[in-house]
Structures are given as structure tokens and as C-alpha cells.
Structure 1
Amino acid sequence: MPTSDLASIAAFWDAAADTFDDEADHGLRDPRIREAWARRLVEWLPEAPADILDLGCGTGSLTLLLAELGHRPTGVDLSPRMIDQATRKLTAAGFHADLAVGDASDPPVTAYDTFDVILVRHLVWTLPRPEEALDRWLGLLRPQGRLVLVEGHWDTAGDDGFYVPDAVPLPWLGGVPASRLVETLEPRARIVHIEQLTDPLLWGRPIDDERYVVIARPKGAGTTPEPATPRGQAASTSTFSRTPRASGTRTAAE
């Protein structure tokens, strides 16, 4: 994506950072909503601790929830202000995480960085080339890893459009139906789970649009999950443009 487009999109989300958590499913401030997401994550993810890359992490609500569940999350978002919010959120809760400003469609990791899980929530609609992003994400998974895509179909999916003026067009603006996402994934990965997310507790209100999760594994991966393994020494040389670790009294690995 052109640098000018990345800057415009980062500015768009920077402007949204202060109020982003006002949406019930963004901030997870209501304990009932938080618990609903925690239950789903337990169902979708391997046993803790797992190395999880949270792409488009925003203000870090799910990143924090992953840490609370005992995982080792890494968060990436294009918006510096979103990452600032996430850093403060994890620090206040006493957790550590690697948080990076970067393009979620092409995460700034080295060839040595691989993950047990890549978690993506409501992100693919923002991408000009979603198929390329899916290929990149699948390539960052360990052999038994899983790609967890929490997505939806709102109003203008399938029509080229823009959400930042003069930026590149977005083929999935407004979301993408589960059927189309599965069709896009099937040549690339093995689909292991599809679930419609109709529970109002997940969103803080009843919904009348399509929201769902699709979980996929790299082709050739077996059916039995491998235990999560600590990331190797080479991960410390990652090319992430990292923020300092959020300081605190405990980490997901402790």
C-alpha cells in the first residue's frame, strides 16, 4: 500500500482512538460482554500459553483479554494513538505485551517470528488486497497454528469503495459474507470451524447483520493441536517498531 495511503488511514484511526472504546464490543467495559468474549476465546484458542498475534488490535481490549487468559499476545495496529491506548490499558491491568505500530496486512515481523494463533477481528474490510493479507498471515503460523477471523457483513460488502478519501479502493468495504470469506480461504487453508455470532452479549445489543468467526489452519496441518512452544531466541531480533513493553507485575507467560 502506498505510504501516503498508510498515513491517511493511520490518521483516520488516530482520530477515532479517544472514543473507540465507547462501543460496547470495542471497550469490553461491561463485565457480561467481557465474559462473553472470554468464553468464545477459550473455545477457539489452544490451551494457554500460546503465542498469539492480534492484528488490528486497536486499543488492546482483546490483547488484554488474551493476556488475562494466560496467553502471550503481540498486538499490531497502524494507528500510533491506538497503540498508546493499548499500552496504557495493559499497564493499568498489570500485564506485559509486545505492541507495535505497523501494517496489519503485512505485519513487521522477521522470518523467524511464527505464532500459534493469528487473531483478526473486523479488519479484512479495511484491506485493499485481502487475499494477499490472508496468504501473509497463513505464512506466519506454526504447522498446527490457526487463523481466527472474526468478521461480518454490514452494508456495502463486495462494492469497491473508500473509507479514507483518495486512498486505494477497498473490495470488502462494509464487510464480507462468511460464504465469500470461506471461498477465498479454501484454496489457501483448511477450514476447521465456522460459527455465526448472534449472541447480543457479544455486541452489547441485538444485531440484524451477519457476524461470524471462521477458523482455518495451514494446509497439511493435522487435526491434533501441538502444544504452544515458547518463541525462539531469534524473535528478540524482530523488526517490529515496538513500543516499550507495558510495565506491570505479571505477564501472560508467568
Structure 2
Amino acid sequence: MSDSQAVITEYWDVAAAAFDEEPDHGLRTERTRAAWDALLRTWAPAAPSDILDAGCGTGSLSALLAAAGHRVTGVDLSPRMVDRARAKLAAAGLAGRFLVGDAGAPPTGEERFDMLLCRHVLWTLPDPEAALREWTARLRPGGTLLLVEGRWREAGQAGAPYAPGAGALPWGGGVGAAELAACLEPLVASLRIETLSDNADLWGGPVEDERYVVAARV
């Protein structure tokens, strides 16, 4: 692990303790949890499938997918996030596999998945376009890459590091739907964009910035 990656890992380890206090992270209210469950069920395969949650954080979305019957693997750079994800699913009586590693290059070897989910991670990566190539390569033919993204005012100015050692990140303030779609189009067979800014239940209240989901099929 490089010095920069170690600093970033420490940043998210520290953030892990309070991470679930954000409504869309902890999904502690029934309305918010139901909104995310409905969104995932819209795009996930109908039959139990192999799903990779890249940058899984404390495992809230992994838990929803596992409860729906899917075989879930979560990856996060932060060991403390992974510990909380494991504990969350265990407490709910759900099965899930969680690995410590780089979300941009998940440590899953030659495994292939039916869906790869990533929520609000691209802005943290030093090379998000390389991550998109990695993620599409991890999917089986016909698989789905599901990206929940946006441009958030609270993320700070584009290009500003979110943590010491993060450097000038290409999408440090988030990424707009049009730019992300343009990067994805050469890698996938089809994609669809759906706005999420107007669904207050997902975020625990109204938002004014750009939030959306891209569903791409390989």
C-alpha cells in the first residue's frame, strides 16, 4: 500500500464510526430503506445472482441485496467499514462476503458477476476511468453496471482532495450524468440514466444538486 493510499484508508477508517448517521448511508428509517430497496430491485436481476458492491462502506446496500436473495460480495478500502458491514449483515442473519481492498480494482481475481453496484465512490478515485474499465470487465455477458452518482455541493470544489494524500482528483466534486455516460458508452452495449434528485425519500429529505443512477449493460 502506498503512503497516499494509507492516508486515504485512515480517512475512511475514521469516518466509519459516524458513517451511518447520514440518512442514505445508514438507511435507519423505513421510508429511506424502502426507497433504496425499490431502486435496487428495479435494476438487479430477478433471480438470485452474484453481485459485487464496490466501495460498500458499512454494507447497507449489500444488506438489501442479500435480503432479496442475492449472493453479495462487498469491497472497501477501509477495514473498519468492512468490519461494520460484516457485523451489520450478521446481525440481520444475512449472508455476505466482505473484502478489504481497492474499490477501483476489487481483489476478486477471475470471478465474474451478474451486477456490479457502486454508489458515490467515483469522486474518491484517482483514476475513475480506469475503474470503469475494471468494473465492466468484471461482469458476465449481459451483466449490469449500476452507478449511483452525482455532483454534490458538499463534496467540495472539483479537483480538491477530500483527504490529505488524495491529490487533485479528476472527479473530486462528483461527475455529471452526461460526462459519465460519455466515458461509459465505449465500454458497454447500452445504458440508461434516471434522475434521482427529485426522490427525497432516498436522501432523507429534499436535495437541490444533481443525483442520478446509470444502469449499463455489457
Describe how 1:136-147 pairs up with structure 2 within 5 A.
Answer: 136-147=134-145
Counterpart position of 2:202: 202
Counterpart residue identity of residue 132, structure 1: A
Which structure 2 residue ranges, 5 or more long, are not aligned? none
Q: Which residue of 123, 126, 144 corresponds with 1:125?
A: 123
Counterpart residue identity of residue 22, structure 1: E
CA separation of 1:171 and 1:158: change in aligned 2, threshold 3 A: farther
Counterpart residue identity of residue 89, structure 2: L
CA separation of 1:157 and 1:185: change in aligned 2, threshold 3 A: farther
Cα contact 1:105–1:127 (8 A) shared by 2: yes
Deviations 1:19-68 (A, max 9, x none): 10000000001011111111111111111301000011000000101001
TM-score, normalised by the number of residues in structure 1: 0.82
Cα contact 1:149–1:214 (8 A) shared by 2: yes
Distance in 1 (alpha carbons) for counterparts of 2:18 and 2:70: 27
TM-score, normalised by the number of residues in structure 2: 0.95
Counterpart position of 1:48: 47
- CA positional deviation for 1:157: 8.1
Deviations 1:177-215 (A, max 9, x none): 001100111122233321001210000010000100001
Structure 1 runs of 4+ with >3 Å offset: 155-159
Rg larger in 1 or in 2? 1
1:96 and 2:90 are equivalent in the alignment: no
Counterpart position of 1:169: 168
Cα contact 2:86–2:98 (8 A) shared by 1: yes
Cα contact 1:158–1:171 (8 A) shared by 2: no
Greater helix percent: which structure? 2
CA separation of 1:21 and 1:121: change in aligned 2, threshold 3 A: same
- CA positional deviation for 1:169: 2.1
How many pairs align?
A: 216
Which structure 1 residue ranges, 5 or more long, are not aligned? 219-254
Counterpart position of 2:112: 114
Deviations 1:117-158 (A, max 9, x none): 000000000011111000000000000101000001123788
Cα contact 1:182–1:191 (8 A) shared by 2: no
Counterpart position of 1:248: none
Distance in 2 (alpha carbons) for counterparts of 1:146 and 1:157: 30
Cα contact 2:8–2:165 (8 A) shared by 1: no
Distance in 2 (alpha carbons) for counterparts of 1:170 and 1:90: 32
Distance in 1 (alpha carbons) for counterparts of 2:107 and 2:4: 17
Counterpart position of 2:21: 22
Cα contact 1:158–1:176 (8 A) shared by 2: no
Counterpart position of 1:193: 192
Counterpart position of 1:84: 83
Cα contact 2:152–2:210 (8 A) shared by 1: yes
Describe how 1:211-230 pairs up with structure 2 within 5 A.
Answer: 211-218=211-218
Cα contact 1:56–1:78 (8 A) shared by 2: yes
Counterpart residue identity of residue 26, structure 1: H
Counterpart residue identity of residue 195, structure 2: Q
Cα contact 1:56–1:123 (8 A) shared by 2: yes
Counterpart residue identity of residue 209, structure 1: D
SS at match of 1:207: coil
SS at match of 2:186: coil
Cα contact 1:53–1:73 (8 A) shared by 2: yes
Distance in 2 (alpha carbons) for counterparts of 1:107 and 1:203: 27
